[in-house]
Amino acid sequence: MLASTTLSDLLSTLLDRRPFGRKFEDGREIKEICLALQTESDETSGWKLASTILNRYRMLDRDRKIAFFEFLNDELDLDAARVADLANTYGSDPSPKNFRALSKASEPRRQALFRQLNEAPGATAQIVRLRRDLLALLEERPEFARTDHDIVHLLRSWFNRGFLVMRQINWESPASILEKIIAYEAVHEIGTWDDLRRRLQPTDRRCFAFFHPAMPDEPLIFVEVALTCGVPNSIQSVLSEEREAMDAEDADTAVFYSISNCQAGLAGVSFGNSLIKQVVRDLSHDLPNIRAFVTLSPIPGLMRWLKNEGTPHSGDDPRGIERLAAKYLLDAKAADGLPLDPVARFHLGNGAIVHAIHSDADHSESGLVRSSGVMVNYKYDLSRIAQNTLRFSKRREVVATSSVKNLAKRAAVASGGPATLPIGMRTRRE
Amino acid sequence: MLASTTLSDLLSTLLDRRPFGRKFEDGREIKEICLALQTESDETSGWKLASTILNRYRMLDRDRKIAFFEFLNDELDLDAARVADLANTYGSDPSPKNFRALSKASEPRRQALFRQLNEAPGATAQIVRLRRDLLALLEERPEFARTDHDIVHLLRSWFNRGFLVMRQINWESPASILEKIIAYEAVHEIGTWDDLRRRLQPTDRRCFAFFHPAMPDEPLIFVEVALTCGVPNSIQSVLSEEREAMDAEDADTAVFYSISNCQAGLAGVSFGNSLIKQVVRDLSHDLPNIRAFVTLSPIPGLMRWLKNEGTPHSGDDPRGIERLAAKYLLDAKAADGLPLDPVARFHLGNGAIVHAIHSDADHSESGLVRSSGVMVNYKYDLSRIAQNTLRFSKRREVVATSSVKNLAKRAAVASGGPATLPIGMRTRRE
Amino acid sequence: MLASTTLSDLLSTLLDRRPFGRKFEDGREIKEICLALQTESDETSGWKLASTILNRYRMLDRDRKIAFFEFLNDELDLDAARVADLANTYGSDPSPKNFRALSKASEPRRQALFRQLNEAPGATAQIVRLRRDLLALLEERPEFARTDHDIVHLLRSWFNRGFLVMRQINWESPASILEKIIAYEAVHEIGTWDDLRRRLQPTDRRCFAFFHPAMPDEPLIFVEVALTCGVPNSIQSVLSEEREAMDAEDADTAVFYSISNCQAGLAGVSFGNSLIKQVVRDLSHDLPNIRAFVTLSPIPGLMRWLKNEGTPHSGDDPRGIERLAAKYLLDAKAADGLPLDPVARFHLGNGAIVHAIHSDADHSESGLVRSSGVMVNYKYDLSRIAQNTLRFSKRREVVATSSVKNLAKRAAVASGGPATLPIGMRTRRE
Amino acid sequence: MLASTTLSDLLSTLLDRRPFGRKFEDGREIKEICLALQTESDETSGWKLASTILNRYRMLDRDRKIAFFEFLNDELDLDAARVADLANTYGSDPSPKNFRALSKASEPRRQALFRQLNEAPGATAQIVRLRRDLLALLEERPEFARTDHDIVHLLRSWFNRGFLVMRQINWESPASILEKIIAYEAVHEIGTWDDLRRRLQPTDRRCFAFFHPAMPDEPLIFVEVALTCGVPNSIQSVLSEEREAMDAEDADTAVFYSISNCQAGLAGVSFGNSLIKQVVRDLSHDLPNIRAFVTLSPIPGLMRWLKNEGTPHSGDDPRGIERLAAKYLLDAKAADGLPLDPVARFHLGNGAIVHAIHSDADHSESGLVRSSGVMVNYKYDLSRIAQNTLRFSKRREVVATSSVKNLAKRAAVASGGPATLPIGMRTRRE
């Protein structure tokens, strides 16, 4: 039966706003145009300036981009002395007028600039790309982290969970979206359109993505799901070209076998947690026969940790490597007391538990290099997520099944000190 | 031919997120739940808390709402001394770390709270309603302006022009939207569904509204347009029940005869400017025969001004009252140097000019009371909007046709000092 | 979650085909234009001719319409002698060539004409209206039944069940559709938009309609449904303005309390059967708590039958009138052996059973006049519909609950011969 | 700006009708089930029987399919003697009753069967496939042409032009549709998804298809269009991978360079004419700068004709082969007096003219084999289509530009008698 179409109906014009026909020329420097934009009061003129800035930015070479970020970072910063003054004033007289003055002064001018840029049609995606550039410069120019902080602040507001749209991706989806799924899959590469079809079209496969209304052609993050009988112990069985699809109604398990962030420029504006939970909620409702929600996840830091620990593994002992993996996931911690493994941090932080560990589960080259082919199931149990989250965030506790705990106890490792900094969730191939 | 349907396609789920079944009980005070929300890390639990807070808020009586706003205003304020300290620290060492600390401290905790509230399904509309309550309390509790400032700051970010969707309202629109058009029309009341149909269905009538993806059932602002031959000189001729509709292709003029803000809670987050300009752009494109874009506007402050000036008008002299109206629009200024008349401020601020003045143009009771039946056409000329905006905002210059200027010169008024504060654009009937 | 939007996507252009700008003149008689159309081979020219014919037809006065139908009926009839010849030829030599010749000859030329008319944009609705006129002339000109037979033949093909679309009507539906629901409701009048809203918006109300892709703005038939606890025994309780809505999940019964055909010109091309069964199937799926599907139906022929039987009823004896109604529904038969009551024929023919009878169930004037306020529940039980249909159609058996049978046994009536011809299901108010 | 979404809105449920869960078993022979269906009165039971028949049919091997068609052809034929009788009766008494009896008798029972089959969800596409099988058997079993005649009769009614939907195919279209475009392209093969993208995504490319609401996932026919400056003289320049796209607004010519029927089972139910004309109308409206609408068409019968004529061509003389092609197109006629070349018959029958002839225009293998690389532009001029159609259909006149006529005059061919039967427009690769 039909849901109301009011919304889709309403929104079909979002990107329909008229562009500005042919490009217009503006002889000024990009900085000057930025300053002009901050005083422009006519909407159309403002859009033109904003578009000019974003187009101009895109054309800049690396050095000029750096110069542009220096301008943002320094010339459009806040005035600390003024903030201190106004804070003191507000401290002695908390009037609305003083509050407003302090509030205005404590927001760097670059924030207002980005807000204005974002008003132009199509600007949001361009700002996300600009931040990708900025992130890539942070190592070299750590002081740019100030500008990055401001952009993240805005992106978090714009990409508020309440504005995100989850949508199923299937073989009926527009090719323009599907080609991005191919491009952005970060965990188990999609080689061809036929490969893609095998992940979308069968009755026992699902794919879901988040979108934002202002970037309707760009998935933000997507998760690939296999509906199975029982918990799978190898990615090859899930991705096999020969397998027969089953009816979704006959499955009892939903397996999240790949989750990929699509927008490097949105790093730190996390959606993965929300996406998985929404998929769990929706599948629970639509397919009541699904009892278990598990991942089939890589253990990207395993081999590196073993090497650092001085416990290199031969690969000939499947039990042995499972024990080592269990040990790693349960006991190897970073400086902040959280698991060293980035994927473990992510799922455990979401309230999942370590459910089972499988050797010989990933024959791909990257799987062998990173974890000697071992994979792990994390399990999401809706009724315990809140409680697990609390145990993890408050007490740094890694919840696991007793069989995983037993594996870990029998692992042949000396110590478990932190060796490497955890990397973030993988984003798309660079 | 078809535009791409990708977007509408993508978005049809935005409001489809599962609600939480039956209401859940939470015995705590609303303040305690707010504090709990600020430390909650599980999404679903967070949504439940946010929904509980918003539902609980709605049930509060006036006194308890005031108490809640006191809590927001005082207990969730920023710590001025700490801000001053951190600003000094940042001043002497502008490191990213110091910047982040200052940035965090200078944002009142209530901002983070509202951001979290906004993640729950349907929250945005409820926050807008909460602000309506807050606005109504400001006279009595002026210090709440601090909290209001923070909410407006967030609303401006969420209702960024880039996220707004313009949509035509017509007789094919959902009844759930149309009933809101009836309710929100602020300028020329819509009495019945037949009345509404006469403004939407004829070939020479248009209506456009802005929507936000997170409130797809709620128009934010709408404008009603009549396509005519020549500039009309009375609202009765536009709204007449007997008139014959003409083909849109035969019209040479588009008349904005009513513009209504729908959300009192969005006062100060202005969309009217954008809406009119987008309609001008789109109609120019779709109906190239339309040469002139004018309003047919009330002059709400005219009679009050005349009374204050000691120049009461008898109503028997149509030329006389037109001259007085011209004088009022061109010369009566508020303390800030801008026109006293709020509608004039709005359209002139948008870059329109005073085009013509008509007595005997509005026979309605409110029209007679406010302006003795005089109305005015403001004219939007795309090629001159930017320049007019500049003249108005920089030089306080009111641009008008020479005929209007001549009228003003011949007006029989003594002086033109500011007498009343300008009221804002009218929102819906309270 | 989302169904695929491929279809809706595909179809949004169906009515978008360009019309022919301004009207074009054609000085010829309508008959001549019909003959010209039959030999036209260019599509655009053909559309213009077809549109001209249909527009011209609409303008004809009654006498000229009759003349036009005479032309169709006589001049565009088949040539019986030729058919007989070709049938004989085919009988002796059943070659494809002879078959084609016979096939072509046995189809009256008016059929081909209507097929060509139907190619023009918007023609289908106009042909349906033309047939409404034709039906109204049948009593006076019974020979036109030949032309009517051909049109019905085409309409049945065009309105094939496989091409019909069921759609929920709710308060989100376009006003242009809703105003037709108001206009077409035939059983329990809808007085105002607020009245309509009470039937569409509450959580325990549903309305479904069939549409045809070529007439997307015109509902063909619709049914109004109340979700209740238990089977209601009065229409006033269902339509009451004061009642509180319940959650759909709490209901155990779906009540079809009104079903209205919208298109008089589609009489005899029945959809009611299909609509009710599809609604039963869909609600069973979406609301598994719904156990019983019943109607709350008028008994339009009761009082007429009692009068014919010479058993007028006083109205003071609620048990007595229920018994009489049971007797009437179970035993009063038309010449064809089927129930005399047209609504009973419809629902029993669909496989429903007579479930319960209620006096004092309809206080409206028409309810009192037609059936002294008595109403009946017919019950649809998916698992028995096929079997009931068979018993009814093959053996003329009226299936009823034992309580209804007991009522009928105790009815104080002499005999039960057929007295009046059954009328068809009611269509909209004329 | 937005068109009304009423229709798309209405139709999104068309294929949403609930299927019948798991397959059901029916032990009877397919013929028996057909006979059972003809007497079934319950909709759901009828749908099940219809689905069973269509599923069963699909599983039949070739011999059993033949047996099934024999059953349709013979046992469900009309009764010729009875038709002759009833025709005589009607001839002497043209009463509606006699008309209805004749009308009913003269329709073979298989027609009613197919109408019932078509009521089941998804049946239309299956009937189209059934007819494809039937067409393939016609050579061997020519008497099946009787059954074919009936199916075509029904298909023409169901696929009435008024029910077809033209839709643009672009890179936003669902992959499920696009893969069919790849599969069905019959003229210039599409090898890969990148190949497809080059025909859909550039600003100067368009593709349009007809769909039917009952087969929303299946294009019926599609045409690929290049927007160009001037009339192109080679397909390689159109399909080149290196070419730069131009703005649609800068083009003055629309080139139909490929038109492909997708459904072999709809042979003889022609849509190509309608599609081209609708595209011409729509592009004329949307891109007023487009002045000329031409094809770039193959000449599939040229080399065969030259061979039959005994005028084999060496390929070394570009002028020579152009003259021969002109001669062939203008003068080589089939037995019916229409052009021998099937593509010429199609476009000239639609009202186009022979505009220009180009040697060395198609280097593909099939292009060289069929026409030694020569191609032709047919030109559609909206203002002359009706007149050209008439000249062609009434007088067998081939309209051509004078330059083409001059080419033909100078061609070195002896005579021009018809040699081969024209084949139909090409359908997809078998």
Query: Which residue did the predictor score with more confidence, D5 or C113?
Result: C113
Name the residue of chain A whose CA is nearest to C10's CA. Answer: A172
Residue C278, chain A, CB below 8 Å: the answer is no
Helix (H, G, I), strand (E, B) or coil at C361: coil
Q: Confirm whether C355 is a catalytic residue.
A: no
Token pair recorded at residue B71: 């809590």
Query: What is the pLDDT averaged over residues B49-77?
Result: 95
Please enumerate in sequence order all residues whose Cβ is within 8 A of that of D210, keeping only pairs 6 or more positions apart, or say none. D164, D165, D166, D167, D219, D220, D221, D222, D271, D274, D275
The minimal CB distance from A174 to the residues D1, D173, D193 is found for D173
Write out pLDDT tens, residues A207-229. Answer: 999 999 888 889 999 999 999 99
Q: Domain B29-158 carries which CATH code?
A: 1.20.140.90
Write out pLDDT tens, residues B315-370. Answer: 678 889 999 999 999 999 999 899 999 999 999 999 999 999 999 999 988 889 89
Helix (H, G, I), strand (E, B) or coil at C252: coil
Catalytic residue among D297, D359, D371, D372: D297
- Subunits with 3+ C-beta pairs closer than 8 A to B: A, C, D
Write out pLDDT tens, residues B221-249. Answer: 999 999 999 999 999 989 988 889 999 99
Say whether D171 and A174 touch across the interface (CB within 8 A).
yes
Residue A4, chain D, CB below 8 Å: the answer is no
Q: Which of B264-268, B292-296, D387-391 has the highest mean pLDDT?
A: B292-296
Three-state SS for chain A is: CCCCCHHHHHHCCHHHCCCCCCCCCCCCCHHHHHHHHHHCCCHHHHHHHHHHHHHHHHHCCHHHHHHHHHHHHHHCCCCHHHHHHHHHHHHHCCCHHHHHHHHHHCCCHHHHHHHHHCCCCCHHHHHHHHHHHHHHHCCCCHHHHHHHHHHHHHHHHHCCHHHCEEEECCCCCEHHHHHHHHHHCCCCCCCCHHHHHHHHCCCCEEEEEEECCCCCCCCCEEEEEEEECCCCCCHHHHHCCCCCCCCHHHCCEEEEEEEEECCHHHCCCCCHHHHHHHHHHHHHHHCCCCCEEEECECCCCHHHHHHHHCCCCCCCCHHHHHHHHHHHHHHCECCCCCECCHHHHHHHHCCCEEEEEECCCCCCHHHHHHHCCCEEEEEECCCCHHHHHHHHHHHCCCCECHHHHHHHHCCCCCCCCCCCCCCCCCECCC
CA–CA dist C273, C221 (Å, integer): 11
The minimal CB distance from C1 to the residues A5, A168, A172 is found for A168
Report the side by side order of strands in the sheet with D292-295.
D165-168, D205-211, D221-228, D253-261, D292-295, D375-380, D353-358
Q: Is pLDDT of A332 > 70?
A: yes
Write out pLDDT tens, residues A137-157. Answer: 999 999 999 999 999 999 999
Amino acid of residue B208: F
Report ipTM for this prediction. Answer: 0.85
Write out pLDDT tens, residues A10-48. Answer: 444 343 343 444 455 677 889 999 999 998 878 888 889
Say whether D1 and B286 touch across the interface (CB within 8 A).
yes
Beta bridge partners of D221: D210, D261
Backbone angles phi, psi at B379, to 5 degrees: -120, 135
Q: Is pLDDT of D360 > 80?
A: yes
Residue C172, chain B, CB below 8 Å: the answer is yes
The minimal CB distance from A2 to the residues D1, D5, D12 is found for D12
Residue B163, chain C, CB below 8 Å: the answer is no
Token pair recorded at residue A382: 């809706």
Q: Where are the domains of chain A?
A: 29-158, 164-425
The minimal CB distance from D172 to the residues B4, B167, B168 is found for B4
- Residue A24 has what pLDDT? 53
Question: Closest approach of chain B CAs to the CA of C12, in angstroms?
Answer: 8
CATH superfamily of this structure's domain D164-425:
Malonyl-CoA decarboxylase, catalytic domain (3.40.630.150)
Collect all residues of chain D within an 8 Å Cβ-Cβ radius of residue C280.
none
- Residue A1 has what pLDDT? 26
Name the residue of chain A whose CA is nearest to D18's CA. Answer: A1
Residue D13, chain C, CB below 8 Å: the answer is yes
> D179, D201, D203, D247: best mutation site toward chain A, by most A Cβ within 10 Å?
D179
CA–CA dist A387, A381 (Å, integer): 10
How many residues make up chain C in this entry? 430
- Residue C429 has what pLDDT? 37
The minimal CB distance from B2 to the residues D4, D6, D168 is found for D168
Residue A85, chain C, CB below 8 Å: the answer is no
Pick the closest to residue B52 from B40, B70, B66, B67 (CA basis): B40
CA–CA dist B309, C51 (Å, integer): 65
Collect all residues of chain A within an 8 Å Cβ-Cβ radius of residue D171.
174-176
DSSP E strands, B133-268: 165-168, 205-211, 221-228, 253-261
Say whether B1 and D282 touch across the interface (CB within 8 A).
yes
Q: How confident is the model at residue B283 (pLDDT cuts 50, 70, 90)?
A: very high
Q: How confident is the model at residue D409 (pLDDT cuts 50, 70, 90)?
A: very high
CA–CA dist C333, A152 (Å, integer): 79
Collect all residues of chain D within an 8 Å Cβ-Cβ radius of residue B169.
none
**How far does Cα D310 stand from its chain's mean position?**
32
Question: Closest approach of chain D CAs to the CA of A413, in angstroms?
Answer: 51
Q: How confident is the model at residue A4 (pLDDT cuts 50, 70, 90)?
A: very low
Catalytic residue among C188, C313, C347, C355: C347
- Residue B314 has what pLDDT? 65
Query: Which residue did the predictor score with more confidence, D5 or B322?
Result: B322
> C2, C193, C195, C217: best mutation site toward chain B, by most B Cβ within 10 Å?
C193
Collect all residues of chain D within an 8 Å Cβ-Cβ radius of residue B7.
none
Write out pLDDT tens, residues C158-171. Answer: 998 888 989 999 99
- All residue ranges of chain C with pLDDT < 70 are 1-25, 312-315, 413-430
| Residues of B labelled catalytic | 297, 347
Name the residue of chain A whose CA is nearest to B278's CA. Answer: A17
Helix (H, G, I), strand (E, B) or coil at B111: helix
User: Across chain B, what does the average pLDDT equal?
Assistant: 87
| Strand B205-211, strand D253-261: pairing | unpaired
- The CA radius of gyration of chain D, in Å to the nearest whole number, is 25
Residue B278, chain D, CB below 8 Å: the answer is no
Question: Closest approach of chain C CAs to the CA of A172, in angstroms?
Answer: 7
Question: Closest approach of chain A CAs to the CA of B386, in angstroms?
Answer: 6
CATH topology match: A29-158 vs A164-425: no
CA–CA dist D87, C106 (Å, integer): 9
Q: Confirm whether C363 is a catalytic residue.
A: no
Write out pLDDT tens, residues B372-417. Answer: 999 999 999 988 998 998 899 888 999 999 999 999 999 876 554 4
Residue C7, chain D, CB below 8 Å: the answer is yes
Q: How confident is the model at residue D4 (pLDDT cuts 50, 70, 90)?
A: very low
Q: Is pLDDT of B419 > 60?
A: no
Residue A171, chain B, CB below 8 Å: the answer is no
Q: Give the predicted TM-score (pTM) of the model.
A: 0.86
Catalytic residue among D313, D347, D355, D358: D347
- Subunits with 3+ C-beta pairs closer than 8 A to D: A, B, C
CA–CA dist B369, B367 (Å, integer): 6
Query: Which residue did the predictor score with more confidence, B310 or C106?
Result: C106
Residue at token pair 């920023």: B78
How many inter-chain contacts (B to D, CB under 8 Å) are there? 18
Say whether C170 and A4 touch across the interface (CB within 8 A).
yes
CA–CA dist D426, D430 (Å, integer): 10
Say whether D143 and C118 touch across the interface (CB within 8 A).
no
How many residues make up chain D in this entry? 430
Say whether A172 and C4 touch across the interface (CB within 8 A).
yes
Residue A1, chain C, CB below 8 Å: the answer is yes
Q: How confident is the model at residue B22 (pLDDT cuts 50, 70, 90)?
A: very low
